[in-house]
Each structure stands twice: as C-alpha cells, then as structure tokens.
Amino acid sequence: YEFVSKGFSRQHIATNESDPADSLVGQATGIPAKGTQIFGVPAESYGFENKLLAWETIAPLVENCSPLRTAHMRDPVGPEIHFGAEQFIDELAAAVGEDPVAFRLRYLTEARHQAVVKAAAEKAGWQARNSSERTMKGRGIAFAERNGTAVAAVAEVEVERSTGRVWARRVVVAHDCGLVINPQGLRYTIEGNVVQGISRAVYEQVRFDRDAVSSVDWASYPILEIEDAPAAIEVVLINRPELAPSGAGEPTMRVIPAAVANAFFDATGVRLRKAPLNAERVKAALSRA
C-alpha cells in the first residue's frame, strides 16, 4: 500500500488574513511571508505489511506566490487526501474479494478505530458483500482519524443515469471524540459536517480560465440545496469519559466525500477518481461504462 500526496508548497502562499505578513497586501508592501508547508497523509491505523505514506512538493509556478489564491476550508486537505485513500481501501478489498467493512476491521490496529467502523456499519444495517450490485443504489463506508477523533461514515446514495444526479439519501456517522460534554451540540456539529461534506463532494468546484476565477456567484459555484440534502442523518456517539475531548468541528468532513464516492461505485460499478461527483462528470463516466 503506497500513498503519496502531492501539492504546492505554502512557503509563498498567504493563508492567515489576520496577520499582515500573510495577506496579499502585506506581500505587495514587502512584508516577508511566513513559511509553512501543510500537506498530509491518511490518518488511520491500517496495519498492512508493506505500507508507504509520503508527500512531496510541486515546484511553484512563479517565484513569490501561487497564481491562484488559496485558503483553508473546513478540515484543510483532509477530504482530498481521504477521498483518494479510502476509495483505494475499497479497491483493495475488492481485489481480494472481501467486504469493505470486514476488510477495514481486519487491518485497523487500534481498538477505537475498529469501534467506530463497527458502530457505523451496525447502525446502517450493513450487509456484507464483496462486489458492486450496479442497481443505481448503493452504500459506501469511509474511516479516518483527526487529531485524536475517530470517525466512520456510511453513505447510501441513489444515482439517476439520465440526469447524472447523485443523491446521498441517508448518512450514518459513528463518532468518538473522547469525553462527550454537550451531546446535542455535538450532534448538530456532526450533521453540519455531513451536509457541507456532501456539498463539497457532489457540487462545489472552483473554475477558472487563463485570466481569472470564473466561479463568481451561486450559479457558477453551486452548493447543496435543501431538496438535495439527505432524508436522514443518523449519529452514533461513542462517549469515552476517561479521555479528554479531542474535537468535532472537522473530523467528519474528511470521510463524507470518500463514503459518497464508495457508495457511487457500489451503485454503478464505476469508480470516480475526481471530485465533485457532479452531473456533468457522472453522465460522462456512465456513458463510458
């Protein structure tokens, strides 16, 4: 198992608007930019015998900054990394003829990681199978850890071949962030992660041409609307009073795109390796299948 993350260095890219040194105005007036490099590899405990996790830097296109302004979104680089990594875990499971949940449980080495996968699968009523049924309805699972919080999500999707619509009709999340202090607030936070995660997985895409960013309004940068939200979001909280709280604002975000993509494969037998899973991309992929 080999995972290599590639990205532009943030050595010359401003990300902190509160610091003059990290703003475009600050750079233009000669204030040195703060050098940081934030990439990452999958946060998990899969105990594969042969495993390499690494990242490498793409050389900057210009001397002082990226040609496109970049900034943090919820869970910086997490959804992108695990969109690839957790889809590949499903591919490994398929290669050996094993159910995706069983495969994860066989190779995850930490008990808390195994527990969230089990809890999500049980709550979702997961039925083991080792291949796609290609019925245009499917389910997928994804797991990740973020700063001490373990989370697994099961997504159930429906795909409309004629329109390219991908609807995540049900999402189940199992969440372990140590001690749970405010259960209702925690559930709301996780639900927000789910909705925003689906929006990023299925709809959101910044487009640009040779001159400028062309995604300038809600028509050119669509987001999830209420009629496309899941009919059900179910949350399983695993409370561990013996552990300090480790956070909930971002961990669920990193598993939703991968869970939706794995469910799309289960529904169609087609693997989409680029996000978002929008109508244009879905129809093109299904036409080639």
SS (H, E, C) 255-284: CHHHHHHHHHHHHHCCCCCCCCCCHHHHHH
Task: Work out how many domains the chain is built from and give that number.
Answer: 2
Flag whether 215 is in a domain. Answer: no
Residue 188 and residue 271 share a domain: yes
Whether the link from the prior residue into 276 is cis, omega within 30° of 0, is yes
Q: Give the list of residues 6+ apart from residue 277 with CB closer than 8 angstroms, or none.
A: 166, 201, 202, 260, 261, 264
At 9, the pLDDT band (50, 70, 90 cuts) reads low
At residue 98, what are phi and psi to the nearest 5 degrees?
-125, 145
CA distance 156 to 167: 8
pLDDT at 286 over 60: yes
Flag whether 68 is in a domain. Answer: no
Q: What percent of the chain has pLDDT over 90?
A: 69
Residue 277 and residue 179 share a domain: yes
Crossing angle (nearest 10°) for helices 256-268 and 78-95: 40
pLDDT at 37 over 80: no
Over the chain, what is the mean pLDDT?
Answer: 88
CA distance 126 to 19: 48
Amino acid 258: pLDDT: 98
Across the range 176-194, mean pLDDT stands at 98
Residue 14 and residue 122 share a domain: no
pTM above 0.85, yes or no: yes
Strands 52-58 and 2-8: parallel
Give yes or no for a contact between 221 and 199, defined as CB atoms under 8 angstroms apart. no
Q: How far is CA 39 from CA 6, 30, 34, 56, 104, in A?
A: 8, 26, 16, 8, 24
Bridge partners of 176, per DSSP, are 150
Give yes or no for a contact between 247 and 146, defined as CB atoms under 8 angstroms apart. yes
Residue 234 and residue 282 share a domain: yes
CA distance 83 to 6: 14
Bridge partners of 46, per DSSP, are 108
Flag whether 164 is in a domain. Answer: yes
Flag whether 260 is in a domain. Answer: yes
Q: Give the list of residues 6+ apart from residue 162 with CB closer than 8 angstroms, or none.
A: none
Query: Where among 58, 87, 106 does a domain terminate?
Result: 58
Between 27 and 199, whose confidence is greater?
199
pLDDT at 208 over 50: yes
Amino acid 5: pLDDT: 83
Q: Domain of residue 27: give its range.
A: 2-58
Amino acid 33: pLDDT: 53
Closest CA to 35 of 43, 27, 25, 44: 27
Residue 237 and residue 122 share a domain: yes
Place of tokens 């959804």: 79
Residue 267 and residue 204 share a domain: yes
Closest CA to 186 of 246, 257, 122, 123: 246
Flag whether 246 is in a domain. Answer: yes
Query: Where among 58, 88, 104 does a domain terminate?
Result: 58
Across the range 18-40, mean pLDDT stands at 58
Residue 87 and residue 34 share a domain: no
Across the range 258-282, mean pLDDT stands at 97
Closest CA to 262 of 174, 170, 141, 171: 141
Residue 166 and residue 35 share a domain: no
At 35, the pLDDT band (50, 70, 90 cuts) reads very low
Amino acid 41: pLDDT: 81
CA distance 228 to 262: 19
**CATH code for position 171:** 3.30.365.10
At residue 101, what are phi and psi to the nearest 5 degrees?
-70, -50
Give yes or no for a contact between 194 and 254, defined as CB atoms under 8 angstroms apart. no
Q: Residue 185 corresponds to which amino acid?
A: G
At 119, the pLDDT band (50, 70, 90 cuts) reads very high
Closest CA to 155 of 261, 258, 260: 260
Flag whether 64 is in a domain. Answer: no
Amino acid 61: pLDDT: 58
Element containing residue 137 per DSSP (H, E): strand 137-146
Q: What is the pLDDT of residues 61-114, one digit of tens each?
A: 555 555 565 556 888 889 999 999 999 999 999 999 999 999 999 999 999 999
